[in-house]
């Protein structure tokens, strides 16, 4: 057989199964390397709670005052500007918001143990300053969900996912609960790190920080 034609030769059954085994082994090895690289990469993207990097967005005193309106039964929307720098537009401020829920670590841990231990343990405090703050982006396909006072639940209007006040996924097509974001008080200012996580994935995989 001509050399150039050799790759078309399906080979004997033994050769075929050897090739299948090798192909699967390469894919599996790639997956292991990928996970090994992804975890340090994710952690390295996140600012530590002592960091002064501009990945932390500062809230104005008026914006920070919104936290005080949250009660045990009523999360509040807190708006703030995420400071972004890119090659096309330079520095810009993008208006965003989070949902702030009054919480203790025990309350959140009871409903969302996966955030505190195991493979999906978050590398930053889930509860800070007596609050957990959730990204407003539905982890199903990225719509903005809202708080429904009558039901005391977060409801997504797009495909009907329902979440408890502590972000536990209770119904609908989403594959995980709501995504907590880093919150801290630093030098007298309330700061939040804006993180976009991959949608439609049971795990919180970082897409973008800040």
> Using CB under 6 A as the criterion, which residues of the chain lie in contact with ligand FES when the complex forms?
138, 140-143, 156, 158-161, 172-174
Say how far apart CA 210 and CA 207 lie, in whole Å.
Answer: 10
Strands of the sheet containing 56-58, edge to edge, are 56-58, 189-193, 183-186
> Closest CB to ligand FES among 45 and 155?
155
**Least distance from C-beta 139 to ligand FES, angstroms?**
8
**Least distance from C-beta 124 to ligand FES, angstroms?**
24
Distance from the first to the final alpha carbon of the chain: 58
Say how far apart CA 158 and CA 141 lie, in whole Å.
Answer: 9
User: Which has the closest alpha carbon to 70: 107, 103, 95?
Assistant: 103
> Closest CB to ligand FES among 39 and 175?
175
**Least distance from C-beta 143 to ligand FES, angstroms?**
4
> Closest CB to ligand FES among 122 and 143?
143
Say how far apart CA 60 and CA 119 lie, in whole Å.
Answer: 35
**Least distance from C-beta 53 to ligand FES, angstroms?**
31
Taking a C-beta distance cutoff of 8 angstroms, is the pair 135, 178 a contact?
yes
> Closest CB to ligand FES among 76 and 174?
174
> Closest CB to ligand FES among 82 and 158?
158
**Least distance from C-beta 182 to ligand FES, angstroms?**
23
| Backbone region of residue 49 per phi and psi (left: phi > 0; alpha: psi in -120 to 50; beta: other values) | alpha
């Amino acid at each position: 057989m001509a050399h150039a034609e050799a790759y078309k030769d399906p080979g004997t059954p033994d050769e075929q199964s050897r090739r299948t085994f090798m192909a699967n082994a390469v894919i599996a090895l790639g997956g292991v390397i990928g996970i090994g690289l992804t975890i340090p990469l994710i952690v390295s993207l996140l600012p530590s709670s002592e960091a002064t990097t501009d990945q932390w967005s500062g809230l104005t005193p008026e914006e920070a005052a919104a936290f005080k309106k949250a009660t045990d039964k009523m999360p509040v929307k807190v708006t703030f500007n995420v400071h972004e720098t890119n090659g096309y537009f330079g520095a810009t401020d993008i208006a965003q918001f989070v949902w702030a829920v009054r919480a203790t670590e025990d309350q959140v841990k009871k409903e969302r143990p996966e955030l505190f231990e195991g493979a999906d343990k978050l590398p930053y405090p889930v509860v800070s300053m007596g609050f957990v703050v959730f990204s407003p982006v539905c982890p199903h396909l990225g719509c903005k969900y809202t708080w429904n006072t009558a039901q005391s639940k977060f409801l997504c209007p797009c495909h009907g996912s329902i979440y408890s006040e502590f972000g536990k996924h209770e119904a609908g097509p989403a594959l995980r609960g709501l995504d907590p974001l880093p919150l801290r008080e630093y030098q007298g200012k309330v700061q939040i790190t804006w993180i976009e996580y991959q949608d439609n994935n049971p795990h919180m995989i970082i897409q973008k920080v800040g």
